[in-house]
């Protein structure tokens, strides 16, 4: 009888932890299909009926992995001794999740490695188990701080800070341009702290007092903001569409627009998806006996807007006037309305989203600086369209969830130079209760100063103001 090697036995398949499987499937959807982490995981949690513990663990795995993906990728390339592009993308995502468990959670090292091996066997195949096992055992040789020190060797200035605070270099450079090195470090540190969930009590439908009575706490600045640590759906106002999730910075720019003197007439949300700001604007418009038109180019996002506005369906003033919002699927650069129609217009334009990195961890590595080449012309076109839509004396809010100068003040100045009918207002003066938010004449919010997204807002008037200011 031959005394050669015994044939290897197939690994006995283990049950895959449902939280890890959900986090992996969501991560694949984010990286392979450009999905949004919160939406993808929320759907998986619902469909797979994960309990609160598993849902919480899956959320931590997914968000933490997305937040530090660039750092983990650099660590994995060193541990693997080859570019990650040489490995199957699905294997790389298993390695990312495993690295997060090893370096940023309290999961024991053996459990992190074993569960990752089992996961890759189930999701990819047995052939991939060897590389996952080997690479993760090299990852665990150092803790996260030691790995970051290795990655930062020989670097200084912005590049070193980007590595140490887990941000793309171009993002760190943008923060530094606006804030200086100390401020940039502070905002990056704030971006690495997962925020609580902020809700907006929609005017005419719910009150802040109601949300507080159900366990939320008041926000710092917005009169409509409430903060909650748990599942928003535990509040009846959220379940019924009378309140919704909305960052406090997004609320504040809507409030600022509502406080500017403007003529009577309907309001327009030019880029309304997914609908949080549109819902607040609908309520603010209704307080002036005005209607909101919410426009969104993509039909599926227009449906999300309609869902967000469902609480205002059939909404009427005390004298019976119809104030329910109108949702239209329309391209803001090719308007479906006549010029000079609206008294107030908000253009919350597509942008890099680098102002929302604490709340949107998957956005941190999704965008590249080169994206500005396509975004800036679109932003200028949308601002021009918003101004055309405003009636004489009307006001436009140009809003981005980004502080990058190329898509904020430079866009405003470029459009202003091409038009003789535009005046830039001191936007910060309409939020006098908020500290330290002025950036020239503009509003600039920051996570480290205001505990909001880094929202930028410019207020522009078309033509002359109305004779009698509205308060």
Buried b (16+ CB within 10 A) or exposed e, 83-98: ebeebeebbbbbbbbb
| Helix extents (H) in 68-105 | 69-80, 89-104
438 phi and psi angles, rounded to 5 deg: -75, 135
* Catalytic position from the list 66, 271, 401, 457: 401
Q: What is the CA radius of gyration of the chain?
A: 25
Question: What SS3 state is found at 42?
Answer: helix
Please tell me the distance from the alpha carbon of residue 376 to that of residue 352, in angstroms, as a whole number.
10
172 vs 303: CA distance, rounded Å? 36
Q: Residue 294: enclosing H or E segment and its boundaries? A: strand 292-296
- Tokens representing residue 325 in the block: 């919002």
Is the previous residue joined to 274 through a cis bond, with omega within 30 degrees of 0?
yes
Element of type H or E holding 275: none
User: Distance between CA 196 and CA 214 in Å, rounded?
Assistant: 16
Question: What tokens were used for 223?
Answer: 């009169």
Structure tokens at 8: 């290897």
Which residue in 35, 34, 37, 106 sits closest to 65, CA to CA?
37
User: Measured between alpha carbons, how far is 282 from 258 in angstroms, rounded to an integer?
Assistant: 11
User: How many Cα atoms occupy the beta-carbon half-sphere of 334 within 13 Å?
Assistant: 4
User: Cα separation of 407 and 53, whole Å?
Assistant: 40
- Count the residues in the chain: 471
Task: Convert 341-373 to b/e letters by CB count within 10 Å (16 or more is b).
Answer: bbbbbbbbbbbbbbbbbbbbbbbbbbbebeebe
Q: Which residues of 406-430 are buried (b: 16+ CB within 10 A; e: fewer)?
A: bbbbebbeebbeeeeebebbebbeb
Cβ(306)–Cβ(279) under 8 Å? no
Contact at 8 Å (CB) between 88 and 124?
yes
Instruction: Give dist(CA 298, CA 295) in Å, integer.
Output: 9
The residue assigned the tokens 């999740």 is 97
Q: Answer yes or no: 401 catalytic.
A: yes
Question: Which amino acids are annotated catalytic?
Answer: 401
């Amino acid at each position: 009888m031959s005394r050669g090697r015994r044939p290897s036995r197939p690994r006995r398949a283990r049950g895959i932890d449902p939280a890890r499987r959900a986090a992996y499937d969501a991560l694949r959807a984010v990286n392979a299909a450009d999905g949004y982490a919160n939406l993808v995981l929320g759907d998986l949690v619902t469909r797979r009926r994960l309990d609160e513990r598993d849902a919480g663990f899956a959320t931590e795995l997914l968000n933490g992995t997305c937040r530090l993906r660039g750092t983990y990728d650099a660590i994995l390339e060193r541990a693997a001794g080859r570019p990650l592009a040489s490995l199957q993308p699905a294997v790389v995502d298993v390695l990312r999740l495993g690295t997060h468990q090893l370096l940023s959670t309290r999961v024991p090292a053996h459990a992190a490695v074993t569960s990752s091996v089992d996961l890759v066997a189930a999701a990819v195949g047995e052939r991939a188990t060897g590389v996952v096992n080997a690479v993760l055992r090299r990852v665990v040789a150092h803790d996260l701080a030691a790995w970051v020190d290795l990655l930062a060797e020989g670097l200084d200035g912005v590049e070193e800070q980007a590595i140490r605070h887990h941000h793309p270099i171009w993002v760190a450079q943008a923060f530094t341009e606006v804030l200086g090195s100390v401020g940039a470090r502070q905002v990056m540190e704030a971006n690495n702290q997962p925020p609580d969930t902020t809700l907006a009590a929609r005017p005419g439908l719910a009150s802040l007092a109601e949300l507080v009575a159900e366990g939320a706490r008041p926000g710092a600045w917005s009169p409509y903001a409430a903060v909650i640590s748990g599942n928003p759906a535990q509040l009846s106002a959220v379940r019924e569409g009378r309140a919704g999730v909305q960052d406090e910075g997004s609320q504040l720019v809507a409030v600022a627009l509502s406080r500017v003197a403007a003529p009577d007439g309907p309001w327009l949300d030019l880029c309304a998806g997914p609908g949080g700001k549109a819902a607040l604007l609908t309520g603010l418009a209704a307080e002036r006996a005005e209607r909101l038109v919410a426009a969104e180019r993509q039909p599926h996002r227009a449906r999300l807007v309609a869902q967000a506005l469902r609480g205002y369906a059939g909404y009427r003033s005390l004298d019976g006037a119809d104030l329910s919002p109108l949702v239209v699927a329309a391209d803001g650069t090719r308007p479906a309305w006549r010029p000079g129609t609206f008294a107030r217009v908000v253009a919350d334009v597509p942008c890099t989203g680098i102002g929302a990195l604490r709340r949107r961890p998957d956005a941190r590595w999704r965008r590249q600086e080169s994206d500005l080449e396509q975004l800036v012309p679109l932003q200028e076109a949308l601002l021009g369209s918003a101004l055309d839509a405003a009636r004489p004396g009307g006001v436009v809010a140009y809003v981005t969830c980004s502080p990058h100068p190329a898509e904020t003040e430079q866009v405003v100045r470029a459009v202003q130079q091409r038009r003789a009918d535009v005046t830039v207002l001191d936007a910060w003066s309409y939020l006098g209760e908020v500290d330290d938010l002025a950036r020239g004449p503009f509003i600039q919010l920051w996570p480290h100063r205001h505990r909001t997204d880094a929202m930028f807002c410019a207020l522009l008037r078309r033509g002359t103001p109305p004779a009698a200011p509205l308060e």
